[in-house]
Structure 1
Amino acid sequence: MGFTEKQEALVKESWELMKQNIPELSLRFFTLILEIAPAAKKMFSFLKESDQIPQNNPKLKAHAVKVFKMTCESGIQLREKGEVVVADTTFKYLGSVHLHKGVIDPHFEVVKEALLRTVEEAVGEKWSEEMCGAWCEAYDQLANAIKAEMKEETAHELSSRSNPS
């Protein structure tokens, strides 16, 4: 079926509302991730040093912005191109980082749940089943693209080990 014009509009509309409040939303997003999966804290270098989520951590804010923005852009690309398109180097980097941090499928689900809850809280009464579906589709496509790159990286590493130069 693809990403519809309506889904794209819903993701864009909610992103426009959220952009104005990224510092607060990034804290909320990471708070939710750690509420859902406390062990995830060790996966984020910028959260390791503290027992709490730091209020003014620029790395935390930057990471949250990347997740929100890439998910939003994924939705727009799905509509325009029929697939998620990010620079090859970006996907290779994302695949490599996620692989080496030990990210597995359930971790993507934790982030998805935290993302959806953050968006829902941010947009308030504008939240609907349709908006939820739009963000789910955009996130799932982005996550699948990262997972595909992780598999490619794993295959490359295995190949390198079995065929040393």
Structure 2
Amino acid sequence: MITPEQKTLVQTTWAQVVPISETAAELFYNRLFEMDPSLRPLFTSDIKEQGKKLMQMITIAVRGLDHLDEIVPAVQALGRRHVAYGVTDAHYDTVAGALLWTLEKGLGDAYTPEVAEAWTATYTLLADVMKAAAKEPTA
């Protein structure tokens, strides 16, 4: 679970990233593919368009932290869809690393140890929901 303070940190720092979302998306994917080049083939669509979708998804998730119960079904569905894309549990760790690195670059001095901890807790919570849903038997 994330604390109310962590939720606030995630929401306020994400508001600082949104104006540079296109650059942040580019940084994220460059870092992701640098960390694990084998992930590149999983992204078959236009990477700029994929970046927009990523930023929109994170925005929805960050806003939804006030009402986690309402976003859990969508997060679960996302986890189930990722199975079809070839995503494994190990990929979530790589994504976490790329996301935190991107936030550090995008936020600069605002990326404090507390912010890093808040984002790590939030990402872990959402990734765990996705991974659990991915393991559920399909109907």
Give the TM-score normalised by the residue count of structure 2: 0.87
The answer to whether the 8 Å contact 2:76/2:129 transfers is no
The answer to whether the 8 Å contact 1:71/1:138 transfers is no
Correspondence for 1:86 among 51, 68, 71: 71
User: Does residue 65 of the first structure (1) align with residue 55 of the second (2)?
Assistant: yes
User: Does residue 103 of the first structure (1) align with residue 87 of the second (2)?
Assistant: yes
Equivalent-residue separation in structure 2 for 1:28 and 1:147 (angstroms): 25
4+ residue stretches of structure 1 with deviation over 3 A? none
Q: CA deviation at 1:104?
A: 1.1
Structure number with higher helix proportion: 2
Equivalent-residue separation in structure 2 for 1:24 and 1:120 (angstroms): 13
The answer to whether the 8 Å contact 2:80/2:130 transfers is no
> 2:13: which partner in 1?
14
RMSD: 2.1
> Any gaps of 5 or more consecutive residues in structure 1?
48-53, 158-165
| Corresponding residue SS for 2:86 | coil
User: One-letter code of the match for 2:51?
Assistant: K
> 2:96: which partner in 1?
112
Compare relative contact order (CA 8 Å, sep 6+) and give the higher one, 1 or 2: 2
Q: CA deviation at 1:67?
A: 4.5
Give the TM-score normalised by the residue count of structure 1: 0.74
Structure index of larger Rg:
1
> Any gaps of 5 or more consecutive residues in structure 2?
none
The within-5 A match list for 1:8-157 is 8-46=7-45, 57=48, 59-73=49-63, 76-77=65-66, 83=68, 85-86=70-71, 88=73, 90-91=74-75, 93-152=77-136, 155-156=137-138
Can you list the C-alpha shifts for 1:120-154, whole angstroms capped at 9, x where unaligned?
111111111111010001101110111111111xx
The answer to whether the 8 Å contact 1:95/1:149 transfers is yes
Q: Percent identity, please.
A: 24
Equivalent-residue separation in structure 1 for 2:111 and 2:104 (angstroms): 6
Q: CA deviation at 1:87?
A: 6.0
